[in-house]
Amino acid sequence: MGTIREVLQKKSKPMNSLDKPIWLNQAESLPDRNFITCSEKKLVDLVRKHGEFTKADLVSYTDYSRTKITNCIDSLLNKKIIVTNKDTEYSGGRRSKTFSLNGKLGLVAGVDIGATSIDLGIADFSGMFLARYMEPASVKDGPIKILGRACSLLERILRDNNLSYEKVKGIGIGVPGPVDFSMGTLISPPIMPGWDSYPIIQTVQQWFPSANVVVDNDVNVMALGEINQGVGKGVDNLIFVKIGTGIGAGIICEGRIYRGAKGCAGDIGHIGVNNSDTLCPCGNKGCLETVAAGPAIAERSLKQAQTGKSPILLKHYEKNGKILHAEDVGNAAREGDPIAIEVIRESGQFVGDVLASLVNFYNPEMIVIGGGVSNLGNLLLSSIRQAVLLRSLPLATRDLQIVFSEIGFDAGVIGAVNLAMDYMFSLSTVSANTNGKMRSDS
């Protein structure tokens, strides 16, 4: 593992233009908004990532002088953004104070809206979850119904857990479609009728007027979850691949989400992989989603079952009331069904072929596979690995890890909370005052 000083070697990166969205300017008018300087924000991000730090750790990581670190810490303590912990044993046997985020400063909600479900969580400012809830829902029901249900569920969760409605200071939302991050809206989402350019932020703020609402693509949000609390913690260059009803990728570059020029980087489900005539909801044919996503796996398997080539798959089909799911294909494969095994191998190869191109282009340290279809198990993962290793350059795969998500369906909610926390504070170039309520001159 090594010491904290050995682990922390890289400097934090400045925000790119896409990380300064239009809606963030409006956040400064919200009640009880906390303003901090860029130097203080750097320390807050460091404490968020690693839990707690001493002054010596912060000096080592930032190259700030001890005097500057002390001034920043004193300011953050005055604003009650961080708290002092009990003295702990440190190098040389001396006792050193550690600092961590003040969980009592407020509440943050995470909302993961999937194609077929709503997953919600409430956490405090330290990132500790206080409540969780999930229920089935169809995103095709439209934004009015889905957002209304999500907000009413958040209200109920707060009430049932004796949490203050007014203390919700941020809400992160993941949605299964391409998001214009600077505007906080979906743009022509293939599987979300009625959501195009819908004002998600404004709608949610009608329910929670004190909260800064942040919206992003669900796969980006899941990638955030992985690098904060999952198998990707501490990994700076990572690709998270969600295989479910659709297929998408979240790209972590130098520890931050890479969204591209318009916020739609990582939409790998619509990369063409074969000459299939299957029409994708995006309007094109032969997209990765049409051959390797959950519905495609189930459909290809069903065709084989109906021709009599797979009695096991046919058994699952009839048992489910004439419906076959990707999960059934996985169960059939575990029973030794050769057709199910072949379908899963082919799907893994399709995904691996696309990822091989990304590995050659981007050279990530790790690829994390998540989403409902990942439950098909090691047969899928081994097929993906084999295709990537076959089609990628040896140098790019020398230390590459291709693994399943360790936090599974929790990745979306964990990531949504961290997304909200990324934009919880307003930056100011004005010297810090004692209560944190200052105007930004940026």
Kindly report the CATH number assigned to the domain that includes residue 312.
Answer: 3.30.420.40
156 CB neighbour count, 10 Å cutoff: 13
Taking all residues of the chain, what is their mean pLDDT, rounded to a whole number? 88
User: What pLDDT sits at residue 5?
Assistant: 45
Residue 367 has pLDDT above 60, yes or no: yes
User: What pLDDT sits at residue 321?
Assistant: 87
Residue 430 has pLDDT above 60, yes or no: no
Higher pLDDT, residue 220 or 55:
220
Residue 83 structural domain? 4-104
Percent of the chain exceeding pLDDT 70 equals 90
166, 205: one domain: yes
Residue 435 has pLDDT above 90, yes or no: no
**What's the CATH code of the domain at 54?**
1.10.10.10
Residue 86 has pLDDT above 80, yes or no: no
Residue 138 has pLDDT above 80, yes or no: yes
Q: Which amino acid is at 215?
A: V
Q: Is residue 200 part of a domain?
A: yes
398, 304: one domain: yes
User: What pLDDT sits at residue 122?
Assistant: 98
Interval 196-224 mean pLDDT:
96
Residues sharing a CB contact under 8 Å with residue 112, sequence separation 6 or more, in sequence order: 118, 119, 120, 173, 174, 218, 221, 222, 412, 413, 415, 416
User: What pLDDT sits at residue 274?
Assistant: 78
Percent of the chain exceeding pLDDT 90 equals 71
Q: Is residue 270 part of a domain?
A: yes
Q: How confident is the model at residue 207 (pLDDT cuts 50, 70, 90)?
A: very high
User: What pLDDT sits at residue 94?
Assistant: 59
Q: Is residue 428 part of a domain?
A: no
Highest mean pLDDT among 35-49, 58-72, 242-256, 279-293: 242-256
Alpha-helix runs per DSSP H in 179-323: 200-207, 218-229, 289-292, 294-306, 311-319
User: What pLDDT sits at residue 87?
Assistant: 60
Residue 422 has pLDDT above 70, yes or no: yes
The residue from 104, 119, 134 where one domain ends is 104
Residue 440 has pLDDT above 70, yes or no: no
Q: Which residues pair with 403 in a beta bridge?
A: 368
User: What pLDDT sits at residue 312?
Assistant: 94
User: What pLDDT sits at residue 89?
Assistant: 54
Interval 16-33 mean pLDDT:
73
pLDDT tens, 171-203?
999 999 999 999 999 999 988 999 999 999 999
Interval 129-139 mean pLDDT:
96
Q: Is residue 433 part of a domain?
A: no
Are 272 and 284 contacting, i.e. CB atoms less than 8 angstroms apart? yes
Q: d(Cα 250, Cα 319) in Å, to the nearest integer?
A: 36
pLDDT tens, 55-65?
888 888 888 89
23, 72: one domain: yes
100, 114: one domain: no
98, 112: one domain: no
67, 122: one domain: no
Interval 342-353 mean pLDDT:
96
Q: How confident is the model at residue 411 (pLDDT cuts 50, 70, 90)?
A: very high
Are 66 and 20 contacting, i.e. CB atoms less than 8 angstroms apart? no
User: What pLDDT sits at residue 1?
Assistant: 40
Query: Quick one: tokens of 56?
Result: 């010596």
Q: Is residue 427 part of a domain?
A: no
Handedness of CA 179, 180, 184, 187 (dihedral sign): negative
Q: How much is the pTM?
A: 0.88
User: What pLDDT sits at residue 401?
Assistant: 97
Q: Is residue 442 part of a domain?
A: no
423 CB neighbour count, 10 Å cutoff: 18
Interval 68-86 mean pLDDT:
92
Interval 92-105 mean pLDDT:
81
Q: Which residues pair with 131 in a beta bridge?
A: 122
Are 215 and 253 contacting, i.e. CB atoms less than 8 angstroms apart? no
Interval 139-168 mean pLDDT:
96
Strands, E, within 75-201: which ranges?
A: 82-84, 88-89, 95-96, 99-101, 107-113, 117-124, 129-136, 168-175, 179-180, 185-186
Q: Is residue 391 part of a domain?
A: yes
178, 80: one domain: no
Strand 34-36 with 425-427, pairing = parallel
Q: Is residue 333 part of a domain?
A: yes
Are 293 and 268 contacting, i.e. CB atoms less than 8 angstroms apart? no
Number of independent structural domains in the chain: 3
245, 381: one domain: yes
User: What pLDDT sits at residue 113?
Assistant: 97
Strand order in the sheet with 129-136: 129-136, 117-124, 107-113, 168-175, 212-217
Token pair 């924000």 is found at 41
User: What pLDDT sits at residue 434?
Assistant: 43
119, 211: one domain: yes
396, 255: one domain: yes
